[in-house]
Structure 1
């Protein structure tokens, strides 16, 4: 009975295909060509890209490994290693003049625990006009300068410590939710951009929210990032029925020094509740205090001196030095971290299509905690990058 049904179904589809093919006159291929053009037009609107980053890391501190972990009693401390930092693939489809869909994955994260990782962007965007746009899915809500750049074009070895901390608390990095954004006065001397987002706040690749609270963020940006811009960021929400907040301000700009020289400057300050730390502590340590007593704040300054050159495929030579101060628990005499990251990089092709970076990550704490990453360290990093 099943074989007969399958045969009839195949025969039916063959007949339908034959009938549709004969619907076009033998000498008239206009309709067929039109259909093919529509399919080809759709395929042409799908773009693929990605980035590959490989690095060599060496620890210059005897008891600290390549991950910054202090291991005083280890038989052998791994102080140098080759690794794949990122192997990202992105697909973006322009479905119509208003709808766009995008997916971004990082295959390098298959080397470890993949829970809550691998998938980074997965969203749909709808464009109404320049002033009103929507994004739904998993994306990076705009809550600072670093949310506006992919990691492969930043002027340092990696994102800041504050970005990592505010990301783990749900304000930055990849989150699941909805966003509205747009721009105004693009032809004026002071253009303005805005972004408003509501997210679950429990980070990426989660089946659902882990409580009924949501995090709301807003950003206003005045000026142009390639000249001078000011960003104001604010956020509030609830985590496990306790109110939380975050705020920040950032400044960026480019100062031309000579025809081939310019100085790029970026700086950010942020403050907010560290509810990730609060709920990770046992009740005996919290002592009945609310999340409002757990505050993190930090500031960084990142100058980048760029010399534009045109020598074969080499486009620029850059020198940067990021300084960052970050306190993850300022009201409880927490560990204060100061980071110095000098870097020199050679950029090839357009938009860092190729890049060689040599830098150091020097972390200094006001107090060391043996056997943890909260310990003074000094890492030498050589990184090679290719964007496609």
Structure 2
């Protein structure tokens, strides 16, 4: 593993040392210098159809204590991408909506530098989503559903996914007729915006994507991490389908399965000698979507999607698996997803409903407005 890390460190310097004798440019310091900014806004009106369950899905024994509807700001993101030259860039992403509550370890999401030698080799360092799973490679999940999957949230809380501090080596072999992309990430694995790692171990994640055809892409993922003297791991597979039936009608579908160590439950265990192998989580979801390209001046498209998800936070200890059904109807008013309004239903069904917790059967509805510029 040390050799891999040394290779990671040397790549930028080896790349900079290479020179094309046919180059006529003698100074690349500012060649291709440019910058771009973006704004991403998501606002919601949330409502619970159950008097004893609040709009977040938490059950209350006393129904009067349950706030069953509320307006909310999910994202107010500002992004800046600054290209120093044609090879070096930096990416900054902040979510101002995090200031609503205690912003500690929040607000700052992306903060990384990237060196793009060519399509085969790209190196980045800083804070970003490690490449482990389908949702880590989305620019933003809201183009596929109304929010991230429960699986992504659970694996993110266990620091397999979501924003982390580390380094990544990525690339694609498509231009040499091999439909393969790879992602290798090394990261602290203790969450975003941390002063430093909380142990000497690192998380290692590897992802391969293979384009089986123009319409179908398959991928596999694997990751490992240590906690003291014990080792945890995670793995999974996913698929993406995009099929254009006609200029007016498109079908998309995502499916993903993941299984991995639940470090949160392990560290919180009251057992005298807990066994890490007993704390395993797994999840599966499938999310088909149909898009009708209406192409009128003020309405560009209509979409209907449905995500079915089955999640088991712990397969062996204190098991309480559940299923979530999420239908979404959307109207797109600008571009692909520059302006979208959605009507969403979120129906959770637990194996065992636990009073006064979020592990309780719920029927939630929301209207969501999304704007990206």
Structure-1-length-normalised TM-score: 0.85
Q: Distance in 2 between matches of 1:354 and 1:225?
A: 31
Cα distance in 2, alignment partners of residues 379 and 70 from structure 1: 12
- Give secondary structure in 2 for the equivalent of 1:234: strand
Map of 1:79 onto structure 2: 68
Corresponding position of 2:249: 261
**For residues 94-105 of structure 1, what are the structure 2 equivalents within 5 Å?**
94-105=83-94
Out of 268, 284, 294, which is 1:280 matched to? 268
Bigger-Rg structure (1/2):
1
Alignment root-mean-square deviation, CA: 1.8
Q: Paired residue for 2:342, among 347, 357, 375?
A: 357
CA distance in 1, matches of 2:132, 2:197: 20
| Residue number in structure 2 paired with 1:214 | 202
Residue of structure 2 in register with 1:180 after alignment: 169
- SS at structure 2 position matched to 1:201: coil
- Which structure 2 residue ranges, 5 or more long, are not aligned? 1-28
Are the aligned partners of 1:152 and 1:352 in contact in 2 as well (CA < 8 Å)?
no
Structure 2 distance, partners of 1:112, 1:149, is 26
Q: CA deviation at 1:234?
A: 0.3
Secondary structure, counterpart of 2:265 in structure 1: helix
Q: Is the 8 A contact 2:30 2:85 kept in 1?
A: no
Q: Answer whether contact 1:339 1:363 (CA < 8 A) is retained.
A: yes
Are positions 1:161 and 2:146 aligned together?
A: no
Task: Figure out how many residues of one structure are paired with residues of the other and give that number.
Answer: 345
Q: Give runs of aligned pairs for residues 55-70 of structure 1, distance below 5 A.
A: 55-70=44-59
Contact 1:225 1:253 in 2 (8 A): no
Which digits, 9 at most, give the CA deviation of each residue in 1:317-376, with x for residues without a partner? 110000000000001251101000000011122230000010111011000111110111
Counterpart for residue 276 of structure 2? 291
| 1:110 counterpart SS class | helix
* Number of the residue aligned with 2:366: 381
Structure 1 stretches of 4+ moved >3 Å: 38-42
Equivalent in the alignment of 2:20: none
Secondary structure in structure 2 of the residue aligned to 1:70? coil
Summarize deviations over 1:253-281 as a string: whole Å, max 9, x none. Answer: 11233331121011000000000121123
Q: 2: distance between equivalents of 1:258 and 1:129?
A: 35
1:309 and 2:298 matched: no
Please give the alpha-carbon distance, in whole angstroms, between the structure 1 residues aligned to 2:181 and 2:355. 46
Could you list the runs of 5+ residues in structure 1 that have no partner in the other structure? 1-37
Which one of 293, 296, 311 corresponds to residue 326 of structure 1? 311
Taking the aligned partners of 1:154 and 1:295, their CA distance within structure 2 comes to 30
Question: Per-residue displacement from partner, 1:285-313 (whole Å, max 9, x unpaired)?
Answer: x3412222100001000000111121113
> Residue in 1 aligned with 2:36?
47
Tell me the distance in 1 between the aligned counterparts of 2:96 and 2:258.
31
More helix by share: 1
The SS at the match of 1:97 is coil
1:385 positional shift: 0.8
| Residue 357 of structure 2: aligned partner | 372
Q: Is the 8 A contact 1:63 1:70 kept in 2?
A: yes
8 Å Cα contact 2:142-2:148 kept in structure 1? no
- Per-residue CA deviation, residues 17-76 of structure 1 (Å, 9 max, x unaligned), is xxxxxxxxxxxxxxxxxxxxx99985xx12111200110000011111111111112543
- CA 1:40–1:227: 2 relative to 1, 3 Å: closer
Length-normalised TM-score, structure 2: 0.89
Contact 1:51/1:152, CA 8 A, preserved across alignment: no
What per-residue deviation string (whole Å, max 9, x for no partner) do you get for residues 187-231 of structure 1?
Answer: 53x510000001111111111111111110000000179621000
Give the structure 2 partner of residue 227 of structure 1: 215
